Structure 1
Amino acid sequence: MIKYALVVLILLSGFNCTHKSEVRDGDREEVFRHRADSIMALMTLDEKIGQLNLPAAGDITTGQASNSNVAEKIKNGQVGGLFNLKSAEKIREVQRLAVEESRLGIPLLFGMDVIHGYETIFPIPLGLSSSWDMDLIKETARIAANEASADGISWTFSPMTDISRDPRWGRVSEGNGEDPYLASQIAKAMVEGYQGNDLSLENTIMACVKHFALYGAGEAGRDYNTVDMSKIRMYNEYFPPYKAAIDAGVGTVMTAFNEVDGIPASANRWLMTQVLREDWGFDGFVVTDYTAIEEMIDHGIGDLDHVSALALKAGVDMDMVSEGFLTTLKSALQQGKISEKDIDDACRRILIAKLKLGLFEDPYRYADPERAKKEVFSDDNRKRAREIASQTFVLLKNDNGTLPLKKGSKIALVGPMADNAENMSGTWSVAGNFGESISLRKGLENALGDGALISYAKGSNVVVDSLLESRVSIFGKPTYRDPRSEQILIEEALVAAKDADVIIAAVGESAEMSGESSSLTTIELPENQRNLLKALHKTGKPVIVVLFTGRPIGLGWEKENIPAILNVWFAGSEAGDAIADALFGEVNPSGKLTMTFPQNVGQIPLYYNHKNTGRPLAEGKWFEKFRSNYLDVTNEPLYPFGFGLSYTSFQYGEMEFNKVELKGDDKLLVKIPVTNIGQYSGQEVVQLYIRDKVASVTRPVKELKGFQKIQLEIGQTKLVEFEITVKHLKFYDYDLNYVWESGDFEIMIGGDSQQVKSKTISWKN
């Protein structure tokens, strides 16, 4: 082994150019390719195939399968990377097996689901997206990369950029909502935050955009389910965030579980090679999701030998957990199902990723116990997590200035999420220290100090059904179910509320009621929690709902009857302190929804950028026979995309245009004055929408094309300006050409997707 390891080191020392500044990008890529080829010249066929194998290991496992004898496989050169192994010490020891006890000493990649923070947990991605603040979102990825890299992780399976319009699907909590433009901006910010400008730096990690493609459009909102849509819809509505990540230089791509055009994504050559590599120019490597290759057997396209060959030929480079590549590719090569070039191409791409990360120069660079002690879950990181979390809360209702609260108020705190630190981090927070999170109860006590006037009662369980509740607490985040009856719990809450000035009800979901494999057929607030709220409402005291959720929830009764609703998502490690900051007015809520809240599950899918029918309901109408509407409820959402209140009020003036008739490459400048007319300073997200009124294919009624988050002091006015060019008008036509067409365009600006100022302009080629 020593002989061959030295040969590899000699090959690598010939041209040391890991930093971008040392050589032009094109030359740099050629050097990496040359290095990878030099290493491959020393490798056996088995060792090349071994680089394509990604088994699970360590403290945290998910999915259906597990791998055995991982250590022996590493020594035999049969492993290219491991994932979900935590701690610098453990990773250093496993890396030692690869670089000191395998024949060639090729280092391993170490990956982890660092989705919204490492040990310092930030709000769930759906919550982060509600900040509409790209610098803030980028910072969360940067902090996560810094922590994870110190603890040995060099690769994260993030960002998830799947567009979804169905809140029944639990994984909406991991995404950025329903809009392709906003999700694209977030994808770019996350990739830049994780990877920085130089992957060889010790505090950057390689990102992985997922799930390619269309995973968020599963039928019936059921996880892993069939997806079927037209290509024109793929390109215009679902592909943009993935492409934005590719354009930002993301290092890896993860395949989706679902099929695309009848072929599972992991075997879809059109998707993985033509679109991803040939059309979009992606030059990193493709990894499957957990057991995705093996799962293609159940999809019905062949046995493990066959689907493994299909995946490699499609353009998949690394097999997560299935071990189909490891156990079948040699035989497939002998049978002529694949070529050695197919194996070489995949192996080369993985080796290049390791070279870019600097792992051949220092295999242990991402596992520094001393650095980890200083930087992981540090006081500074926790402080930023608290500040960032407070920017993601969405104030859904605030009648008569119920919020913010005065600190001298007597508070009754009730609800199943009021005193549950473990659930504050939400789903997919696999590396978090759940017990160290700040509960809402603790946050209120911290804010009020020794004079805190808080009475507490749980008031209800998360759900009535104990079996259902057991299914949503399988990842170490207990719900602390109370065995007493619903009525006894409510009566206890009423006792706690008896002498209170105000009631804070912490209700909604527990952390794992959303996330992977957490689909629901109803999105209403659980009945027992609503019964608690009804009992509290009858006291006549003001009730403030603090809503914990990973998806849009049906809140029809609450909207009608509860004076104040603050949606806090799952806010992360510092949730309780951040929520208290918002409740007491230390922070003015500024979040805006990135996913429409329907009135009920029957409206799903419901999203703002829909298309018109030939029989649209007239504006302002509740119902009209032989029009596109319902008999029982209006077409309107409960809360629209882009919606979010503030403790202050913002007034939009009239739009000003530099011209209303444009040609070709002209630029349209639109200005609008926005004034803070309330009694608090605050932030507002000013949103720009455009409608292409006549086109060769039908276009949405409006599309987000820009936004700015501004700070306004009391009485202050800012003139917000948007520059619009023909790139904002482009779309994929019937033949999938990316074009813009002459015509009339409606320009809309406002504080959400419904409340907008509007004017039509003409733009000709």
Structure 2
Amino acid sequence: MTCVLLLGLSSMLGGTARAFPATSGDDTQAAAVVSKMTLAEKVSQLQSGAPAIPRLGVPAYDWWSEGLHGIARDGYATVFPQAIGLAASWDADLLTQVGTTISTEARAKFNAAGTGHDHVRYQGLTIWSPNINIFRDPRWGRGQETYGEDPFLTGRLAVGFIRGIQGDDPAHPRAIATPKHFVVHSGPESGRHGFDVDVSPYDLEATYLPAFRAAIAEGHAGSVMCAYNALHGTPVCANDPLLTKLLRDDWGFKGYVVSDCDAVDDMTQFHYYKPDNAQSSAAAIAAGTDLDCGSAYGDLLAAVQKHYVAESVLDTALVRLFSARYRLGEWGDKGVDPYASIGTDQIDSAEHRELALRAALESMVLLKNSQGTLPFKHDLHLAVIGPNADTVETLEANYHGTARAPVTPLQGIRQRFGAQHVSYAQGSSIAEGVPVPIPETALRNGKDAHAGLSGEYFDNLDLTGTPRLTRVDRRIDFDWDHVAPAGELNANRYAVRWTGELVPPGVGDYTLAVHIDRCFDCAGHDPVRLYVDGQRVIDDNGDDKSMQATLHFADMRPHAIRLELVHSGQDQGIRLQWLAPAQAQLAEAEDAARRADAIVAFVGLSPDVEGEELKIDVPGFNGGDRTDIGLPATQQALLERLAASHKPLVVVLMSGSAVALNWAKTHADAILVAWYPGEEGGDAVVRVLTGDYNPGGRLPVTFYRSTRDLPPFVSYAMEGRIYRYFKGAPLYAFGYGLSYSHFAYAKPDVSEPQWKSGDALKVSATVRNDGAYAGDEVVQVYLDAPEVSSAPRHALVGFRRVHLEAGESRRVDFELSARQLSSVDADGHRAVEPGHYRLFIGGSQPEDGKGVTAAFAVIGRETLPR
């Protein structure tokens, strides 16, 4: 390795000259600027909110940006389906296009702030995505952020997404991707800050590492985020064998490692790994964690002074960080900027919205379609019912941007069938004790008796004078993160007053709630006040202490309602919610169904009950995770009441994870999984329901029948989990999905009946669309290895999504490498073992029999590196 000796300004420890490794011009520039920093300045630059160093011409840069399924938390952006929905597409090329769009919009926002200028949180080009942890258990609330349960599928989708984020020029990436959370991290949320995983060598190598290896070795990700948990007693962010030996030496990683937020502090506070943050920080940076999301690295100043860590170790990390900043062109001083022309007109452009629609369409998974219930005819009267039929939050999911014009399922169906042919009822809450937005059916504008409330929007904070804008909002369910409610207003300073009437659907107790998406790590929150019949029932100054009120309505007469919001902080939107009496909502649903030819029930979960460290503890849910994988009881009661109408019942599941739809599998006429489908979700759903689009998505996770089928949530052992090791009968299997068409397979060809070490195995099969509809088939290749105790039942080793016109045939070719043919022994060693193998090629797992098989043999043994 060559070294460049650079003389710099004195540090707080005396300013001796140091040698910095330099492998590129960016490293040389990085080493030069680092050599001029004082120790205090160096320490400041090792934290995610890195301040400016004016004397060195270094602008402030916050490394924290999110782009899981669209640029997040920085205003308008294209909002794609949640990651689990993208995974259901089984389309790596789509993931590349999605990643390209995300990094393009990141560049647009970065350019708007300007090269050479300060970039605050969420304005940068270092994107902390994708989440490629294995979704090992459906109870994990953050599983929605992943690409599912299979290491091969996750790895291929990750590589596609990373290539899209970073672009084709390693010297000038469009942005830097950060696969996370390295490694063995998938809940429970309640213990994540101090959890120690004692995973076997087999499970580590066979399940938890492959996607990360692909992301680094093939995707060439420029960054990696280390996880909160410990592995065999050592916190991952201080685990030198993982971060140096495996990641850098074995896999050839050249980028930088960032901690999950406050993970270094967790080493002190929850893992008790070291007695203070100076020693925890020293351990983390010495192990290879270059950047701290948090403030624990502030104690590196003391760590160096107390000789816990050498200053040269800080220098190594800083060179990696500043080399990344130079590659990104943050200073704009490298000649022609290949991304300078990317402007804000590309944010949520028509082209990007079209891609969001395509992604939503490809994510749809049809699980049941009895007697051709779908597609619907276009002249039906539909009852649209359910708590997820008309909410923004179940489109956007978590880690999201602000959708400029989100289309809910109710809106999409009304646009297609005509409002006069659609009856609507909310029907139920998401779950017991979980408020949902008050539907338009219960809100009335007092002036013209139309649905909704009259909103007066002011450009001041005291709701005085003439409003800048007056309009009717049919429900109060808004995401205004870093955006103004309307173009006439300042996004940072406005107030709104909504007035009208609340019309209860029945007698009983109603809990009214105002939900504010509170900003975190910021100064100031938005005050809110709610009045009913002139009485102030909620008065909150931003402390979240009085955001609910329970009222008893003795009759169904309208009640005057007034809601006031003062946007004086950095909060991100508002929802006016309720918990209404169950019988009143069910009666409304019955009435809507009575007037319809068929029922579409939008049920499932929401980001209010599954997600990251949520403050929730109600039946079925705790802390963001689930304690029961069944459909919540309130919604189950709704489905059963609707079925009593004897109208065709289509269940549309909107969720971030698998839900045990046992009753629906038996009693519903059709089941469609829509996930959290993004800004175009409503349009995508109606196109599938009407046959304008033939669904072709496949499940990226197993749908189990019951929580009782699962091993303990806290166990990271893979035995009994996911399709590879689960020996029971699933409700719906990994890889499953129906079509409006039918696909048939011809006998496959295998290039070598006896595999030779070092060669790729080529296999192909012809697939034919025998149906009347053009559509997509996901061709899946599963390997059954020689019988050994540790081998998975089946292992996905190839897949391709292909579009076929009615009657069209196509030969689909796969080339399987030694790694795809390999297996892992109990000690975690990977090799291609001798013996007889079987390949299955079809549109599902082998048990469904919808495909063809081929056999080959391996003579001899080939060991593979980790």
Please indicate, yes or no, whether the TM-score normalized by the shorter chain is above 0.5: yes
Q: What per-residue deviation string (whole Å, max 9, x for no partner) do you get for residues 504-539 of structure 1?
A: 111111234333222111111111111111011011
Task: Tell me if 1:442 matches 2:411.
Answer: yes
What residue in structure 2 maps to residue 311 of structure 1?
284
Structure 1 residue 199, shift from structure 2 partner: 5.8
Query: What letter is aligned with 2:413?
Result: L
What residue in structure 2 maps to residue 379 of structure 1?
350
2:435–2:577: 8 Å Cα contact kept in structure 1?
Answer: no
What residue in structure 1 maps to residue 14 of structure 2?
none
Task: Tell me if 1:48 matches 2:42.
Answer: yes
1:149–1:366: 8 Å Cα contact kept in structure 2?
Answer: no
Map 1:446-525; keep pairs closer than 5 Å: 446-449=415-418, 452-466=420-434, 474=517, 481-517=577-613, 518-525=624-631
Map 1:551-566; keep pairs closer than 5 Å: 551-566=657-672
Structure 1 residue 115, shift from structure 2 partner: 0.9
CA distance in 1, matches of 2:241, 2:340: 44
Task: Tell me if 1:209 matches 2:301.
Answer: no
What residue in structure 2 maps to residue 70 of structure 1?
none
Deviates most, 636-645 or 730-739: 730-739
What residue in structure 1 maps to residue 532 of structure 2?
none
Q: What per-residue deviation string (whole Å, max 9, x for no partner) do you get for residues 620-674 of structure 1?
A: xxxxxxxx99xxxx92110101000011112233334455334434554433332
Q: What per-residue deviation string (whole Å, max 9, x for no partner) do you get for residues 50-79 of structure 1?
A: 210113xxxxxxxxxxxxxxxxxxxxxxx2
Map 1:382-401; keep pairs closer than 5 Å: 382-401=353-372
CA distance in 2, matches of 1:339, 1:601: 50
Task: Tell me if 1:349 matches 2:343.
Answer: no
**SS at structure 2 position matched to 1:358:** coil
Structure 1 residue 369, shift from structure 2 partner: 11
Query: What letter is aligned with 2:89?
Result: S
Tell me how large the CA RMSD over aligned residues is.
3.0
Residue of 279, 282, 298 corresponding to 2:250: 279
1:477–1:511: 8 Å Cα contact kept in structure 2?
Answer: no
Map 1:2-401; keep pairs closer than 5 Å: 29-55=23-49, 79=50, 98=52, 101-106=54-59, 108-118=61-71, 119-152=77-110, 153-198=124-169, 204-216=174-186, 218=187, 223-224=192-193, 225-247=195-217, 248-297=219-268, 298-302=270-274, 303-321=276-294, 323-326=295-298, 328-362=299-333, 372-401=343-372
CA distance in 2, matches of 1:510, 1:705: 33
What residue in structure 1 maps to residue 822 of structure 2?
730
Shift in alpha-carbon separation, 1:359–1:109, aligned structure 2, 3 A: farther
Shift in alpha-carbon separation, 1:665–1:296, aligned structure 2, 3 A: closer
Query: What letter is aligned with 2:794?
Result: K
Q: Which runs of 5+ in 2 are unaligned?
A: 1-6, 9-20, 72-76, 111-123, 438-512, 519-571, 614-623, 861-866
CA distance in 2, matches of 1:198, 1:28: 20
Shift in alpha-carbon separation, 1:612–1:717, aligned structure 2, 3 A: farther
CA distance in 1, matches of 2:249, 2:815: 32
Shift in alpha-carbon separation, 1:229–1:478, aligned structure 2, 3 A: farther
Shift in alpha-carbon separation, 1:467–1:394, aligned structure 2, 3 A: closer
What residue in structure 2 maps to residue 764 of structure 1?
859
Shift in alpha-carbon separation, 1:371–1:760, aligned structure 2, 3 A: closer
What residue in structure 1 maps to residue 676 of structure 2?
570
**SS at structure 2 position matched to 1:209:** coil
CA distance in 1, matches of 2:702, 2:243: 31
Shift in alpha-carbon separation, 1:477–1:333, aligned structure 2, 3 A: same
CA distance in 2, matches of 1:363, 1:514: 45
What residue in structure 2 maps to residue 679 of structure 1?
772
Shift in alpha-carbon separation, 1:308–1:366, aligned structure 2, 3 A: farther
CA distance in 2, matches of 1:373, 1:542: 46
Shift in alpha-carbon separation, 1:529–1:735, aligned structure 2, 3 A: closer
Structure 1 residue 603, shift from structure 2 partner: 1.3
CA distance in 2, matches of 1:656, 1:483: 59
Q: What per-residue deviation string (whole Å, max 9, x for no partner) do you get for residues 196-219 of structure 1?
A: 023665x81111110011112x46
CA distance in 2, matches of 1:509, 1:460: 12
Structure 1 residue 486, shift from structure 2 partner: 0.5
CA distance in 1, matches of 2:286, 2:433: 47
Task: Tell me if 1:537 matches 2:643.
Answer: yes
Q: What per-residue deviation string (whole Å, max 9, x for no partner) do you get for residues 472-508 of structure 1?
A: 9856677754443111101111111112111111111
2:182–2:236: 8 Å Cα contact kept in structure 1?
Answer: yes
Shift in alpha-carbon separation, 1:521–1:155, aligned structure 2, 3 A: same
CA distance in 2, matches of 1:490, 1:115: 37
Query: What letter is aligned with 1:758?
Result: T
What residue in structure 2 maps to residue 583 of structure 1?
689
CA distance in 1, matches of 2:33, 2:162: 28
Shift in alpha-carbon separation, 1:490–1:370, aligned structure 2, 3 A: farther
1:137–1:186: 8 Å Cα contact kept in structure 2?
Answer: yes
Shift in alpha-carbon separation, 1:183–1:468, aligned structure 2, 3 A: same
CA distance in 2, matches of 1:362, 1:566: 51
1:49–1:347: 8 Å Cα contact kept in structure 2?
Answer: no
Shift in alpha-carbon separation, 1:369–1:467, aligned structure 2, 3 A: farther
Q: What per-residue deviation string (whole Å, max 9, x for no partner) do you get for residues 522-580 of structure 1?
A: 11111111111101101110011111000111111111110101100011111111111
User: Which protein has the bigger strand share?
Assistant: 2
Shift in alpha-carbon separation, 1:372–1:668, aligned structure 2, 3 A: closer
Structure 1 residue 730, shift from structure 2 partner: 2.0
Query: What letter is aligned with 1:317?
Result: D
Structure 1 residue 372, shift from structure 2 partner: 4.3
Q: What per-residue deviation string (whole Å, max 9, x for no partner) do you get for residues 37-96 of structure 1?
A: 2222221111112210113xxxxxxxxxxxxxxxxxxxxxxx26xxxxxxxxxxxxxxxx
Query: What letter is aligned with 1:603?
Result: D
Question: Identity of counterpart residues, as a percentage?
Answer: 33
Shift in alpha-carbon separation, 1:666–1:251, aligned structure 2, 3 A: closer
Query: What letter is aligned with 1:112?
Result: S
TM-score (norm 1): 0.82
Shift in alpha-carbon separation, 1:125–1:466, aligned structure 2, 3 A: closer
**SS at structure 2 position matched to 1:419:** coil
Query: What letter is aligned with 2:206?
Result: N
Shift in alpha-carbon separation, 1:540–1:256, aligned structure 2, 3 A: same
**SS at structure 2 position matched to 1:390:** helix
2:394–2:654: 8 Å Cα contact kept in structure 1?
Answer: no
CA distance in 2, matches of 1:483, 1:359: 49
User: Which protein has the bigger helix share?
Assistant: 1
Map 1:658-697; keep pairs closer than 5 Å: 658-665=751-758, 668-694=761-787
Query: What letter is aligned with 2:782?
Result: Y
**SS at structure 1 position matched to 2:625:** coil
1:128–1:392: 8 Å Cα contact kept in structure 2?
Answer: yes
TM-score (norm 2): 0.73
CA distance in 2, matches of 1:745, 1:288: 41
Q: Which runs of 5+ in 1 are unaligned?
A: 1-6, 9-26, 56-78, 81-97, 614-627
Query: What letter is aligned with 1:299?
Result: H
2:429–2:435: 8 Å Cα contact kept in structure 1?
Answer: no
Query: What letter is aligned with 2:61?
Result: L
